[in-house]
């Protein structure tokens, strides 16, 4: 360890600025994920993923009275880690070396809100500091690890929600991709992800609503089959007769196209309800039926100039 770091740590007992005051008065805490609960189940996940929670050392540079924060080599015990935490408002980067302008020193945790020009002296990894609500002790965690933990906690909560509603939870067994949990509703495979979590929080009957939507959509798509046959009949006549196609057939074709367009509009409007939702896959998407209908409708409109 560098001499200057040893020098500053020698003065640890003489720190004149409270770290907790320094951390919590910089900005008001009101950010997303500003609390964290580490249960035994969550802690096991952290150990399996090798996610570490470091103790925090703090000191004051005697010459400038500037408080400095360091990662401790000490890893807290299991009993110390399990509990509830409050997140401090700031995020930090680890200093790989001294800043030549004197803004930070090697091994220091540097507040990212300080707009220093990072010339490689600061790590790209972002750290967050959490205060244990019971002990008041401060701990440090990588922000990327925190996001994984929060996703795990959310997934566990989501599993409880859907199991309470009577659904069986499945897990994928991917060899090269990250595994995920899902359920099988009446009409869909529903992925237990952030999108589904938010939908269920807003509407506890979301999965039932999704099934009702799929049933109605399937009914409308099935109604396209006779329309496709009618349009294909006139498309076939046009290929044979072209300009010799009778006025009666042309008018009937136009009427059939108009009726098909109305049905297509109904399907499109209904589809807007869950447009952009990537978290469910219908068991029977009826893709070919829908494509045949839209192809026949598009071809008819193009030839008729509608």
Distances (CA, A) of 230 to 168, 211, 294, 297: 43, 30, 13, 10
Contact of 282 with 274, CB cutoff 8 Å: no
Question: Would you say residue 9 has pLDDT above 50?
Answer: no
The structure tokens listed for 247 are 């006025």
For residue 191, which of 203, 176, 178 has the smallest C-alpha distance?
178
pLDDT recorded at residue 160: 96
Euclidean distance between CA atoms 169 and 160, whole angstroms:
10
pLDDT recorded at residue 65: 74
Arithmetic mean of pLDDT, 256-274? 97
71: phi then psi, degrees, rounded to nearest 5: -80, 135
Contact of 127 with 94, CB cutoff 8 Å: yes
Helix (H, G, I), strand (E, B) or coil at 123: strand
Query: Tens digit of pLDDT for each residue in 134-181?
Result: 999 999 999 999 999 999 999 999 999 999 999 999 999 876 677 899
pLDDT-based confidence at 117, cuts 50/70/90?
A: low
Render 81-100 in DSSP notation, one character per residue: HSEEEEEEEEEEEEESS--T
Query: Tens digit of pLDDT for each residue in 10-25?
Result: 333 222 233 333 343 3
Q: Is the dihedral of CA 140, 143, 148, 150 positive or negative?
A: positive
Arithmetic mean of pLDDT, 93-112? 84
Helix (H, G, I), strand (E, B) or coil at 189: strand
pLDDT recorded at residue 175: 66
12 or 293: whose pLDDT is higher?
A: 293
pLDDT recorded at residue 33: 58
- The domain segmentation of the chain, as residue ranges, is 3-142, 152-202, 209-304
Query: Tens digit of pLDDT for each residue in 25-77?
Result: 333 333 345 889 999 999 999 999 999 899 988 888 777 778 888 888 888 88
pLDDT recorded at residue 280: 97
């Amino acid at each position: 360890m560098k001499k200057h770091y040893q020098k500053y740590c020698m003065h640890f007992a003489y720190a004149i600025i409270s770290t907790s005051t320094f951390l919590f008065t910089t900005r008001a805490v009101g950010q997303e994920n500003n609390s964290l609960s580490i249960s035994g189940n969550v802690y096991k996940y952290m150990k399996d993923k090798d996610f570490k929670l470091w103790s925090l050392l703090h000191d004051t540079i005697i010459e400038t009275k500037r408080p400095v924060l360091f990662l401790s080599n000490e890893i807290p015990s299991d009993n110390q880690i399990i509990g509830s935490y409050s997140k401090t408002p700031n995020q930090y980067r680890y200093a790989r070396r001294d800043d030549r302008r004197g803004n930070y020193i090697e091994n220091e945790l540097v507040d990212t809100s300080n707009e220093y020009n990072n010339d490689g002296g600061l790590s790209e990894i972002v750290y967050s500091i959490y205060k244990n609500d019971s002990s008041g002790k401060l701990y440090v965690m990588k922000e990327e690890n925190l996001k994984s933990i929060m996703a795990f906690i959310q997934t566990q909560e989501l599993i409880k929600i859907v199991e309470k509603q009577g659904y069986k939870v499945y897990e994928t067994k991917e060899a090269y991709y990250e595994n995920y949990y899902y359920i099988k509703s009446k009409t869909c495979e529903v992925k237990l992800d952030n999108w589904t979590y938010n939908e269920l929080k807003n509407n506890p009957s979301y999965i039932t609503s999704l099934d009702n939507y799929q049933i109605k959509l399937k009914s409308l798509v099935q109604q396209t089959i006779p329309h496709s046959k009618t349009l294909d009949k006139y498309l076939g006549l046009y290929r044979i007769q072209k300009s010799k196609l009778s006025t009666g057939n042309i008018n009937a074709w136009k009427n059939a196209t108009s009726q098909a367009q109305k049905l297509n509009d109904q399907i499109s409007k209904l589809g807007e309800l869950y447009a952009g939702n990537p978290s469910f896959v219908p068991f029977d998407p009826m893709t070919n039926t829908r494509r045949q209908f839209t192809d026949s409708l598009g071809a008819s409109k193009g030839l008729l100039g509608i």
